[in-house]
């Protein structure tokens, strides 16, 4: 479809602002730009239709099944959007006097209190804007802690090789050397490998549990004990929190700090890539280092961004938590786990799970044997799902499983949807035997065929330029 710039006609536009009712102030010529910016000139009708056409080429979780592993694509309740759009929240200036913002404080305090209870933490900040930003915050808390104790020589962060790429990248942003340790075959921490690298220079360990293949590491207490004995701290990557709420808490597993993705576990929408919110919780001994805003609360130990964070995202998460409450939160997790196990067993017999055991909220299929036999790859299967209106699972992650497809159905899918999805996987399994070529070329009914990514990287076109 055409770009908005290709629809632009000189002289068109909307009548948004009226005449200025005071005299213009003169902008000195030396400060003025020489040419008006080449923004589109477009009528409101064309503008509205342009974006409506664009949205028809987008698949959201509220439009259809979205079993994207490690991303927790659960239904995003409309009521939470309505609440976050209340002028009582949207029209509040972040620097308005405190006696006029009691409602905002209440939102942050309540959300903080509830999330501390869910995770077993003592303090919470909502300043981080996303999961990776939360990781960064968490590891900086650990760094501040060691500095405050005169142990700045602790310069190593341990990361299992099954970890998400943000973990090592975060440790590097905090000035730490990354020590990668190999995982046991089931993706769990290899205790011997861990012991071998622990020492006086250990600053901490970054871990997600359940891990990236959807298995709960039963040695977790031993792991956190070993790290603490070496003088390090334990950071919990909350990517997989949706599996365990109400069943077990990161604080009780021995973790010192944690980030959560409110846009996963607490049902706030992903918005096509953001805004999210990466709330960070910590135990009492790290509370004094939690970030502040220089203008709102004054300079503190850390500041991750301006003001109080993605406040409206916290509003939505709070509305979600209050809706589910004491019983609903554990119910959500238990059914996320049930749905994942149910779907895994329904698919099993065709595509095989990488680990044949009870999974947590997600599971990984290993297509390496299947590919050897049929020539059809995990990518081909993923792309073929698009023709059925299903968003593909996460592909080729975690790195420790080859030809991996990782599925996370979440608790907000019905049994019919899971049965439907399993039937499609079965169909594709059979199709690979009879017509692999068709699958190599999938998708066939999407808005575009497979894009040429190599060309995009080699000859980058990163903005529109008029011919």
Pick the piece of the chain touching another protein (CB under 8 A) from 127-135, 228-236, 279-287, 428-436: 127-135
Eight-state DSSP code of residue 167: H
Pick the piece of the chain touching another protein (CB under 8 A) from 210-218, 228-236, 366-374, 421-429: 210-218
Interaction of residue 193 with another protein, rule CB under 8 A: no
Per CB under 8 A, the list member of 36, 150, 153, 372 interacting with another protein is: 36
Of 292 and 368, which CB lies nearer to another protein in the complex structure? 292
Whether the Cβ atoms of residue 438 and residue 363 lie closer than 8 Å to each other: no
Q: How far is the CB of 60 from another protein (least distance, A)?
A: 3
Per CB under 8 A, the list member of 150, 153, 463, 467 interacting with another protein is: 463
Whether the Cβ atoms of residue 253 and residue 236 lie closer than 8 Å to each other: yes
Name residue, tokens 């996320």: 336
Alpha helices in 286-395 (DSSP H): 311-347, 368-374, 378-386
Interaction of residue 328 with another protein, rule CB under 8 A: yes
As given in the structure block, the two tokens for residue 64 are: 């259809």
As given in the structure block, the two tokens for residue 256 are: 């010192």
Q: Per residue in 126-138, is it b (16+ CB within 10 Å) or e — as a string?
A: bbbbbbbbbbbbb
CA angle 132-138-139, nearest 5°?
95
Q: Give me the 339-378 binding string for another protein, x by CB under 8 A, dash otherwise.
A: x-xx--x------------x--------------------
Q: How far is the CB of 390 from another protein (least distance, A)?
A: 9
3 state DSSP class of 100: helix
CA-CA distance, 141 to 147, in Å (whole number)?
10
CA-CA distance, 76 to 69, in Å (whole number)?
17
Interaction of residue 288 with another protein, rule CB under 8 A: no
Interaction of residue 150 with another protein, rule CB under 8 A: no
Of 17 and 372, which CB lies nearer to another protein in the complex structure? 17
Interaction of residue 9 with another protein, rule CB under 8 A: no
Of 135 and 366, which CB lies nearer to another protein in the complex structure? 135
Per CB under 8 A, the list member of 124, 141, 189, 215 interacting with another protein is: 215
Per CB under 8 A, the list member of 73, 205, 230, 376 interacting with another protein is: 73
CA-CA distance, 333 to 338, in Å (whole number)?
9
Q: Give me the 87-126 binding string for another protein, x by CB under 8 A, dash otherwise.
A: xxxxxxxxxxx--xxxxx-xx------x--xx--------
Of 399 and 433, which CB lies nearer to another protein in the complex structure? 399
Strands 202-207 and 233-237: parallel
- Residue 119: name the closest of 226, 279, 291 by CA: 279
Interaction of residue 131 with another protein, rule CB under 8 A: yes
Q: How far is the CB of 301 from another protein (least distance, A)?
A: 9
Of 372 and 460, which CB lies nearer to another protein in the complex structure? 460
Q: How far is the CB of 202 from another protein (least distance, A)?
A: 16
Pick the piece of the chain touching another protein (CB under 8 A) from 12-20, 227-235, 280-288, 424-432: 12-20
Nearest 5°: phi and psi at 203? Answer: -90, -40
As given in the structure block, the two tokens for residue 283 are: 């135990």
CA-CA distance, 308 to 104, in Å (whole number)?
10
Site size with another protein, rule: CB under 8 A:
192
Of 101 and 374, which CB lies nearer to another protein in the complex structure? 101
By CB under 8 A, the residues from 377 to 436 that bind another protein are 382-383, 386, 391-392, 411-415
Per CB under 8 A, the list member of 150, 153, 356, 460 interacting with another protein is: 460
For residue 5, give every residue at least 6 positions away whose Cβ sits within 8 Å of its Cβ, in sequence order, or none. Answer: 38, 40, 464, 466
- Residue 178: name the closest of 153, 212, 155, 208 by CA: 155
Q: How far is the CB of 393 from another protein (least distance, A)?
A: 10
Pick the piece of the chain touching another protein (CB under 8 A) from 161-169, 197-205, 232-240, 401-409: 161-169
HEC string for 212-232: CCCCCCCCHHHHHHHHHHCCC
CA-CA distance, 380 to 385, in Å (whole number)?
9
User: What is the separation of C-alpha 349 from the centre of its chain, rounded to a whole number of angstroms?
Assistant: 31
Interaction of residue 258 with another protein, rule CB under 8 A: no
CA-CA distance, 66 to 61, in Å (whole number)?
6
Pick the piece of the chain touching another protein (CB under 8 A) from 189-197, 302-310, 370-378, 420-428: 302-310
Of 77 and 232, which CB lies nearer to another protein in the complex structure? 77
User: 189 has which bridge partners?
Assistant: 183
Of 267 and 431, which CB lies nearer to another protein in the complex structure? 267
Per CB under 8 A, the list member of 148, 303, 350, 368 interacting with another protein is: 303
Per CB under 8 A, the list member of 65, 123, 125, 129 interacting with another protein is: 129
Q: How far is the CB of 195 from another protein (least distance, A)?
A: 20
Per CB under 8 A, the list member of 148, 193, 228, 248 interacting with another protein is: 248
Nearest 5°: phi and psi at 258? Answer: -155, 145
């Amino acid at each position: 479809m055409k770009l908005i710039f290709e629809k632009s006609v000189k002289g068109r536009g909307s009548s948004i602002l009226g005449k200025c009712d005071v005299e213009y102030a003169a902008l000195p010529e030396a400060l003025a730009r020489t040419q008006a910016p080449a923004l589109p000139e477009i009528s409101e009708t064309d503008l509205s239709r342009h974006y409506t056409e664009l949205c028809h080429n987008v698949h959201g979780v509220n439009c259809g099944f979205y079993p994207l592993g490690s991303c927790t694509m659960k239904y995003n309740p409309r009521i939470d959007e309505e609440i976050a759009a209340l002028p009582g929240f949207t029209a509040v200036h972040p620097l308005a006097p405190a006696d006029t913002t009691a409602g905002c404080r209440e939102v942050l305090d309540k959300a903080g209190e509830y999330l501390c209870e869910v995770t077993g933490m003592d303090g919470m900040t909502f300043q981080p804007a996303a999961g990776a930003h939360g990781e960064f915050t968490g590891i900086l808390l650990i760094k501040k802690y060691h500095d405050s104790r005169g142990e700045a020589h602790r310069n190593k962060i341990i990361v299992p090789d099954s970890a998400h790429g943000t973990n090592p990248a975060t440790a590097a942003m905090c000035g730490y050397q990354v020590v990668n340790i190999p995982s046991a075959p089931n993706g769990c921490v290899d205790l011997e490998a861990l012991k071998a690298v622990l020492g006086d220079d250990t600053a901490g360990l970054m871990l997600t549990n359940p891990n990236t293949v959807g298995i709960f590491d039963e040695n977790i207490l031993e792991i956190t004990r070993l790290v603490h004995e070496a003088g390090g701290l334990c950071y919990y990557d909350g990517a997989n929190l949706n599996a365990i709420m109400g069943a077990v808490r990161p604080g009780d597993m021995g973790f010192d700090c944690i980030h959560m993705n409110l846009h996963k576990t607490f049902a706030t929408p992903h918005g096509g890539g953001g805004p999210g919110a990466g709330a960070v919780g910590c135990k009492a001994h790290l509370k004094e280092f939690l970030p502040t805003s220089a203008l709102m609360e004054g300079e503190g130990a850390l500041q991750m961004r301006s003001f109080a964070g993605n406040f409206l995202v916290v509003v939505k998460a709070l509305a979600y938590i209050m809706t589910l409450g004491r019983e609903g939160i554990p119910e959500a997790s238990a059914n996320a786990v049930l749905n994942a196990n149910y779907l895994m067993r329904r698919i099993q017999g065709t595509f095989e799970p990488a680990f044949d055991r009870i999974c947590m909220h997600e599971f990984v299929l290993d297509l390496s044997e299947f590919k050897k036999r049929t020539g059809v790859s995990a990518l081909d299967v993923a792309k073929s799902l698009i023709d059925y209106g299903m968003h593909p699972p996460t592909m080729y992650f975690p790195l420790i499983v080859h030809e991996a497809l990782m599925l996370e159905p979440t608790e907000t899918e019905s049994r019919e949807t899971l049965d439907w999805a399993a039937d499609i996987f079965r169909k594709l399994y059979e199709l690979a035997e009879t017509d692999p070529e068709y699958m190599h070329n999938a998708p066939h009914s999407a808005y575009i065929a497979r894009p040429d990514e190599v060309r995009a990287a080699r000859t980058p076109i990163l903005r529109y330029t008029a011919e």
